[in-house]
Amino acid sequence: MTATVAEVRKPARFDFVGLLSRWGTIASLVLLVIVFTIREDSAFANSRNFINILNQVSILAILAAGLTVCLTMGLFDLSIGSVATLGGYLALRWGAEGAFGLGAYGVLLLVLLLAVAIGVVNGLVVSYLGVSAFIATLATASILDGIALGYSDTATVQVGIPFRILDLGQAKFGPVPAPVVIMLVVMAVLWFFLERTQMGRHMYAIGGNPEAARLAGVRVKYYALLALAISAVCAALGGTVADAIIGAGRPYGVGSVYLLDAFAAAFIGAATLRPGRFHILGTLVGVLLLGVINNGLSIMGAATYWQLIVKGAILIIAVFLSGTVSLRRQGA
């Protein structure tokens, strides 16, 4: 029995959930900008404030971009906050001391190489010892916090910091602050890495199905080391920029304030344009969404707890929509 043309050509249904999951976060960002503009007028909608928003989210974006690389492979890096704290403290302290006879840029490079080593150690523990990334990086965070406090004797570095290091947080390129430029460069490089290179495609393949990727010849264990190293480098860079902004190397509390928001931005991003997949462009949208919420509510004079409530609600909705689309794909 053959099917009729009418049976074969069924009218396509309007996929409201799919449309909302792809464009909902961007629509929310636009809507929030419109609402804050109407409510606060010139106090919110001006070029100075928009640049201020980008400056406020720059450190978060740097950390979240590195975290996104790990999340594409299904790896949770909980050590980024502690790496940021230790990296920033070491960069400013060693710069102030002129450690190892290195200049300011040499010290920064040394700190980033140390971050690579931390990420590689995390990767070795995850890949070759079989410890889950969640537990391994949580343990690493505790170790690094202890090292930072012990090495610093809880003292903050404030004197003798080279201007070249401070410029990472305080310089400007025209009207654009240096942290914004660093953020854009980091996100552009990682976007190109994930979207336009073979390594990036392999990472997405591992995140989709590790066993299938392994059978296809992808070196799954190697990519775990690479992803965690990239995450650590971004965290150390972000922590250095954060300390440079205030001109002090703090051995505690620097990166911890960005940890949960970095995950929130990445998961909001996974519900943007390509639901169920972590990607740099989506993370940027997530970061901007969080930044606009914080900035707009602050200008309105809203209590801090409203910022937390709104961010939590948006995160739940975004993850729900992303998960719904993923389940529908699996059932298709």
CA atoms of 52 and 45, how far apart (whole Å): 11
CB atoms within 10 A of CB 41: 10
Pick the CATH number of 57-293+305-321 from 1.10.150, 3.30.70, 1.10.357, 1.10.3470: 1.10.3470
Q: Residue range 259-266: average pLDDT?
A: 93
Q: Are 190 and 203 in contact (CB under 8 A)?
A: no
Better pLDDT: 316 or 185: 185
Crossing angle of helices 104-128 and 80-97, in 10° steps, is 150
β-bridge partners, 176: 173
Better pLDDT: 322 or 313: 313
* Closest by Cα among 299, 291, 241, 240 to 265: 291
Q: What is the CA radius of gyration of the chain?
A: 22
Q: How far is CA 54 from CA 1, 93, 117, 146, 183, in A?
A: 62, 27, 30, 32, 9
* Closest by Cα among 85, 74, 192, 86 to 133: 74
Per this entry, what is the length of the chain? 332
The pLDDT confidence band at residue 99, using thresholds 50, 70 and 90, is confident
> What's the confidence (pLDDT) of residue 10?
56
Which stretch, 16-25, 223-232, 301-310, 311-320, has highest mean pLDDT? 223-232
Q: Are 253 and 96 in contact (CB under 8 A)?
A: no
pLDDT tops 90 at residue 317: no
Token pair, residue 186, equals 């980091």
Round the average pLDDT of the chain to a whole number and report it: 90
pLDDT tops 70 at residue 127: yes
Q: Residue range 282-300: average pLDDT?
A: 93
pLDDT tops 60 at residue 204: yes
Residue at 112: amino acid letter? L
Q: Are 325 and 21 in contact (CB under 8 A)?
A: yes
**DSSP label at residue 218:** -
Q: How far is CA 76 from CA 41, 207, 263, 283, in A?
A: 40, 12, 9, 15
> What's the confidence (pLDDT) of residue 60?
97
CA atoms of 277 and 227, how far apart (whole Å): 16
> What's the confidence (pLDDT) of residue 325?
61
1: Cβ contacts below 8 Å, ≥ 6 apart: none
CA atoms of 143 and 267, how far apart (whole Å): 27
> What's the confidence (pLDDT) of residue 212?
95
pLDDT tops 70 at residue 197: yes
Q: Read out DSSP for 234-264?
A: HHHHHHHHHHHHHT-B-SSSSSHHHHHHHHH
% of the chain residues with pLDDT over 70:
90
Q: Read out DSSP for 35-77?
A: HHHHHHGGGTSSHHHHHHHHHHHHHHHHHHHHHHHHHTTT---
pLDDT tops 60 at residue 329: no
Q: Which of 85-89, 149-153, 327-331 is predicted with the least confidence, judged by mean pLDDT?
A: 327-331
Instruction: Measure the N-to-C terminal CA separation of the chain; round to a whole number of Å.
Output: 25
CA atoms of 84 and 233, how far apart (whole Å): 9
Checking phi first, is residue 75 left (phi over 0); if not, alpha (psi -120 to 50) or beta?
beta
Angle at 121 (CA atoms; ends 93, 141), nearest 5 degrees:
60
Q: Are 85 and 256 in contact (CB under 8 A)?
A: yes
